[in-house]
Structure 1
Amino acid sequence: MVTFTPEQTAFAQAVTDFCQRETGTREQRDKWTNNGEENHSQELYKKMADLGWAGIIVPEEFGGAGAGNVELCIFLEEAIRNQAPIGGIGPTLITAAAYEKFANDDLKREVLEGVVAGDALSISMSEPEAGSDVGALTCRAEKVEGGWVINGQKTWCSNAHFAKSILLIARTDRSGGKHEGLTQFHIPADTPGLQISQIDTLGGREVNDLYFTDCKVPDSAVVGQVGNGWKQLMAGLNTERLILAAMQLGLAQRSFDDTLAFITERKQFGRPIGTFQALRHRMADHATEIACTRELVYSVAKAADANPDKLMPREASMVKLKATETSKAMTIDGMQMMGGYGYAKEFDAERLMRGAIISTVFGGTNEIQRDVIGKTYGL
């Protein structure tokens, strides 16, 4: 089973204690989320930043904790398990890692110090005709004197409505292959020529359309090398998929905990429904799957810490696939075991289910993850 150092165990307990104080009741969570309409509270996130948690993996030279992937996964698992409404942390830390690797010194310091202070970030890849096939994107950035002019549309962009800045992937050259000629740009959210428009979803306000109309940015907005955006994206897969996996592990565990509490207390035919074999066996299976998922998450986190520059496409895809499928199965089954109560908004089961199902889509669909895993075996 997964074991932690005494310091890691104390850290996990500190995160749990904070969340139980701030988000331990439904009334508290409704206060932070506008009655469930938002999945992220910047106010609560700032409080976590004051404790040093927003910059947990940011290097110490920029004011962060400089912790590893194991500590990051501990934080995310415990925060999401305790239902802290900080859905924006995933895109923020994924984006921050890209700035750390590729931005120039001045931009890196500006952005990472902001992250430590609680700024949210966003990354924009998908377009109406380029989702899983990121290489097919057409949003273009054309070189002009002193900078670049951007035109086009992006979609499904998480965090953009409250982010301090957006890391945009745009096409700067059409002469090569579809994975060539892509460039990353730093776009402050208040840049003239950028319009951010909400997309209504089952999860409330989470994602947005972005419209760029003659949006001009300086040369200094380029993050990394012009035309090297695709390779830069691939360099961040370990961190991205670990973040998503740890969050879904926490969500699966919360669903299990809530379901267990319900079926222990709920009585039918004169006894708790959890004592019936049909439910008891289902919960045993879910407990086993969650335990297996936790082992995988932390083994990949430890491997990433031991080899920070090594790309692990197979393991990164496996951990995202396993964690999201586990959370989806647990939340759907948990809602069904709760019967009508699982469907009612009075309980958290239906919200947890929505959060789990969409996780199989974002960050690279699970079909794409399976494809990546298969290719690593030469298939």
Structure 2
Amino acid sequence: MIPTEEMPEHRREFVESLRGFAQRECGTREQRRALTDDDRITHSPELFAKLAGLGWIGCAIPEGYGGGGGRIGDACLLVEEMAYGKVPLFGLGVSLVSSTVVERFGTESQKKDILGGVCRGEVLATAISEPGTGSDAGSMICRAERRGDRYVINGQKTWISCAHIASRILVLCRTGSGGDKHDGITMLDVPADSPGLEIRPIATLGGDEVNDVYLTDVEVGADRVIGTEGGAWHQIMRCLNTDRLMCGSMFLGHARRAFDDALDYVREREQFGRPIGSFQAIRHRIADLATELECCRLLVRDAARKLDLEPDRQVPREASMIKLKVTETAKRIAIEGMQLMGGAGYTLEYDMARHLRQSIVSTVYAGTSEIQREIIGRSYGL
């Protein structure tokens, strides 16, 4: 658990409320299996609506747009505790990350509409990747042609998280060209039920997480441009702090839970007349994982504290360190946890198999570990 004594009182109370919610709604393996159809469903609209009703989804969104007026640190705690509690709310982190660019670059009308929708429990997704453009997203070819006061979009997006449950999708597409491949990219707010927009789920180990999105002559008004035409890439870059911090917070929660589940097991499981956790080989492995987990916690807390104090501050090195360290650690803890639990960790009776499926891909999406290492290395002038 997070040492709450280091938090201000309002955040201690918030964390306790979040833990109580998670325990009530999915505190048992039976509840979680029922909510997720045996781990195939990653998002519960019913629980998302309950979070919205409690006012928690928009905890870090300004009050003027329907939120709670808190800071990024509050959102980090929300995402972390929901992940720790195994609450099936994959759309939560995706929506909060997607809303950041709207809050920073959207018009007043867009903020009230889109951010207000998120606070009310609508899922918001962002579509960047394409079949030929993953890490090199600046090479995207999905195009939007301006026709009077409308844009007509044609192209394909892929690996789009939560598109199948989203009310709207922020689609990055090419509207022009320039000297740099990252110029001429525009973000458009596209309703998910737009004629010509087709969403096809991609089957994965993790369940219903990602999708292909096909856009055929999809029309949206010019008033749906988020920020400036042709400037979407630079807008997205300004919001990567939040993206990577949120990802780190989510997988810090997953890592903590996988660690605690493994720890509980080695304390209780007996072999050769004693708990297996009492054997030095197991005890030392637990010590190493606990140390790595504490490093992750401190990285996340430090970045959240900095951004609480200076929301517009850019911390690209720290954000990439968080994405790299926390996801690699979450994956390691899940793999080690399965080894520590032996055959039990491989069964659906326990959550460890789900921990593994969730964490194994975390080092790939939202910027691979290799990309994060590049960013960190270049930040030192290399």
TM-score clears 0.5: yes
Alignment pair present for 1:241 and 2:244: yes
Return the match for 2:210 from 207, 219, 224.
Answer: 207
Cα-Cα RMSD: 1.1
2:277 corresponds to 1:253: no
Q: Secondary structure at the match of 2:361?
A: helix
Residue 356 of structure 1 aligns with which residue?
A: 359
Deviation at 1:10, TM superposition (A): 1.4
Tell me, what secondary structure is at the counterpart of 2:155? strand
Partner of 2:147: 144
Partner AA of 2:303 in structure 1: V
Out of 167, 173, 177, the position equivalent to 2:176 is 173
The whole-number CA distance in structure 2 between the counterparts of 1:50 and 1:25 is 23
Q: Is the aligned partner of 1:375 residue 2:369?
A: no
The AA in structure 2 aligned to 1:19 is A
In the alignment, residue 55 of structure 1 is paired with which amino acid?
Answer: G
TM superposition shift of 1:305:
1.4
Q: Are 1:47 and 2:56 counterparts?
A: no
Code of the residue aligned with 2:349 in structure 1: it is E
Secondary structure at 1:190 match in 2: coil
1:66 Cα deviation after fit: 1.4
Give the equivalent residue in structure 1 for 2:38.
Answer: 35
Structure-1 residue corresponding to 2:320: 317
| Superposition deviation, residue 308 in structure 1 | 1.2
Q: CA deviation at 1:205?
A: 0.7
Does structure 1 residue 86 correspond to structure 2 residue 89? Answer: yes
Corresponding letter in the other structure for 1:141: A
Residue 79 of structure 1: how far off its partner (Å): 1.3
Counterpart residue type for residue 207 of structure 1 = V
Of 107, 114, 119 in structure 1, the residue corresponding to residue 122 of structure 2 is: 119
Q: Is the 8 A contact 1:151 1:212 kept in 2?
A: yes
Q: Report the equivalent of 2:13.
A: 10
Out of 305, 308, 323, the position equivalent to 1:305 is: 308
Query: What letter is aligned with 1:124?
Result: A
| Match of residue 337, structure 2, among 334, 339, 347 | 334
Which runs of 5 or more residues in structure 1 are unaligned? none
Task: Read off the aligned partner of 2:157 and give its amino acid letter.
Answer: K
> How far, CA to CA, are the matches of 1:102 and 1:347 in structure 2?
44
- SS in structure 1 at match of 2:203: strand
Give the secondary-structure state (helix, strand or coil) at the position aligned to 2:173. Answer: strand
Distance in 2 (CA, whole Å) between partners of 1:227 and 1:118 is 30
Task: State the alpha-carbon separation in 1 of the partners of residues 69 and 295 from structure 2.
Answer: 28
- What SS class does the counterpart of residue 339 from structure 1 fall into? helix
Post-superposition Cα deviations, 1:168-193, rounded to whole Å, max 9, x if no partner, equal 00011124321111000000000011
Q: Give the CA deviation at 1:202.
A: 0.2
Give 3-state SS (helix, strand or coil) of 2:146's partner: strand
Aligned to 1:71: 74
1:103–1:223 Cα contact (<8 Å) kept: yes
Query: Which of residues 264, 267, 270 in structure 1 aligns to 2:270?
Result: 267
Which structure 2 segments of 5+ residues have no match? none
Instruction: Return the TM-score normalized by structure 1.
Output: 0.98
Tell me the CA shift for residue 165 of structure 1.
0.3
| Runs of 4+ that moved beyond 4 A | none
- TM normalised by structure 2 equals 0.97
Match for 1:85: what amino acid?
A: P
In the alignment, what sits opposite 2:156? Answer: 153
Superimposed CA distance per residue, residues 20-52 of structure 1 (whole angstroms, 9 cap, x where no aligned partner) = 000101121122222211111111011011111
Aligned AA for 1:71? D
Q: Which residue of 1 aligns with 2:23?
A: 20
Aligned residue pairs, count = 379
Q: Take 1:193 and 1:220, find their aligned partners in 2: how far apart are those partners? A: 19
Identity %: 48
- Whether the 8 Å CA contact 1:32–1:44 is kept in 2: the answer is no
